[in-house]
Amino acid sequence: MLSRLIIFISLLPNLALSKVDWSSELAISSNATYVESSTQQARSFGVIPELKLSVTIKENLIFHSKASAILETGSFKGTLVDEFKPDQQVLLNYGYFSYKPFSLSQIEFGALPMNTRAPQILIASGRFLGAELLQSIPLWGEAKLNLYALSAIPSNQELTNRLGGVSEGTPGYQQLGLDLNLPGDLVAIGFKAFAWNYNNVTGNVAYQSGFMGNQTQGIGSSNTRFSYEYEGLGSSLQIKGETQSFKWGLTTDFIYNDAAPDTRNQALRVSPSVTVSDHQISLSWFEIEADSAIGYYNEASYGHTNRTGISLDYFMPLGKEESFGLSMARSKTLKATLLQSDQDVLKMWWRLQLK
């Protein structure tokens, strides 16, 4: 009986995928990270194999997924948070269904990648369990306007138990907006404007975010709350151009939290870039006020919130399947606090596409 079960399980993928179209991509990358501040120090090296899988179940129904294994080693010293601590885990980067009931309408649901839906100063790369409805409106030529509505549950891997049961509702994140795409041969423009809000985000997320710049109330990981709500507006503008000798681009991101007071409720990032002979360099300046976003979810390399600084990103393809990258970020606190300090982050990575 056991041998039959093993044979059945081994044949199940072939049986399941024999009637559908599917494709996979396998890649491996390595990275080195250096972090220096008075609250944490990290030096790590890691190897990350990853697998992308796309399954066309029907012509209008596709499943997308990406999983990776993080295998890191190194040293870490931290007094408040351990976000740069070397890690070993299997990670679901995303896994969601994409359904098109009509040619210009699309529904995506599952573990959605958030780095394509919100700027880094609000939500860094990660995945939220949720659903998004998107409606496209053709304009002229290849230009189009997308209207979308997103409702999701923010990820929280460090849950806490509360005596007497859970007194709060399910944490939530909502985003409603428009996305305008104007492609062009010499200049292309993309613009996104949206309204966003979190609700029922408390406990460990609030506790950790208190060390990342947000103002909180309470003691301990179970009883901490944010001092302000998180709801407001955001926008992103991206301009790209190309000549015979180089490519250039400019990206600006803006976040406004309507529920927090002035001098604590705005975030801005401006990032020009240039590509010459396949060498791409991006320089960013950012200022993220203390309660403009939830620190637990936005970019760690920027120091989360209550920060201002600059970052430099370099990308170089080494071949058709191979690439190398370098990222540096230096951030300082906007307002002095005992829980934060100036921070330097250096990351290097190498990636090889195997299939």
pLDDT digits (tens, 9 = 90+) for 84-112: 999 999 999 999 999 999 999 999 999 99
Flag whether 7 is in a domain. Answer: no
In angstroms, how far is the first alpha carbon of the chain from the final one?
36
Determine how many CB atoms are found less than 10 A away from the CB of residue 200.
Answer: 12
Asked if residue 293 has pLDDT above 80, the reply is: yes
Domain total of the chain: 1
pLDDT digits (tens, 9 = 90+) for 29-54: 999 999 999 999 999 999 999 999 99
Which CATH number does the domain housing residue 285 bear? Answer: 2.40.160.10
Task: Indicate the average pLDDT of the chain.
Answer: 90
Flag whether 9 is in a domain. Answer: no
Flag whether 1 is in a domain. Answer: no
Across 56-95, b (16+ Cβ under 10 Å) vs e yields eeeeeebbbbbebebbbebebebeebebbbbbeeeeebbb
Asked if residue 134 has pLDDT above 70, the reply is: yes
Flag whether 98 is in a domain. Answer: yes
Going by pLDDT thresholds of 50, 70 and 90, the confidence category of residue 71 is: very high
pLDDT digits (tens, 9 = 90+) for 153-188: 998 755 444 444 444 578 999 999 999 999 988 899
Asked if residue 219 has pLDDT above 90, the reply is: no
Asked if residue 5 has pLDDT above 50, the reply is: no
Flag whether 2 is in a domain. Answer: no
Provide the domain limits for residue 54. 20-353
Residue 148 is predicted with a pLDDT of 97
E-assigned strand segments in the chain:
21-37, 40-58, 61-78, 88-102, 105-113, 127-138, 144-153, 172-182, 187-199, 216-217, 225-226, 231-242, 246-257, 266-276, 279-288, 307-317, 322-333, 343-353
Flag whether 281 is in a domain. Answer: yes
Residue 97 is predicted with a pLDDT of 97
Residues 6 or more apart from 104 whose CB is under 8 A from it? Answer: 135, 136, 137, 138
| Global model pTM greater than 0.85 | yes
Residue with tokens 């699309």: 106
pLDDT digits (tens, 9 = 90+) for 296-310: 999 999 999 999 999
Integer Cα distance of 279 and 275 in angstroms: 5
Flag whether 328 is in a domain. Answer: yes
Flag whether 14 is in a domain. Answer: no
Residue 156 is predicted with a pLDDT of 75
Going by pLDDT thresholds of 50, 70 and 90, the confidence category of residue 135 is: very high
Instruction: Please give the share of the chain, as a percent, with pLDDT higher than 90.
Output: 78
Helix (H/G/I), strand (E/B), else coil: 102: strand
Tell me whether residue 245 is exposed, middle or buried, using C-beta atoms within 10 angstroms of its C-beta: 0 to 12, 13 to 18, 19 or more: exposed
Residue 223 is predicted with a pLDDT of 85
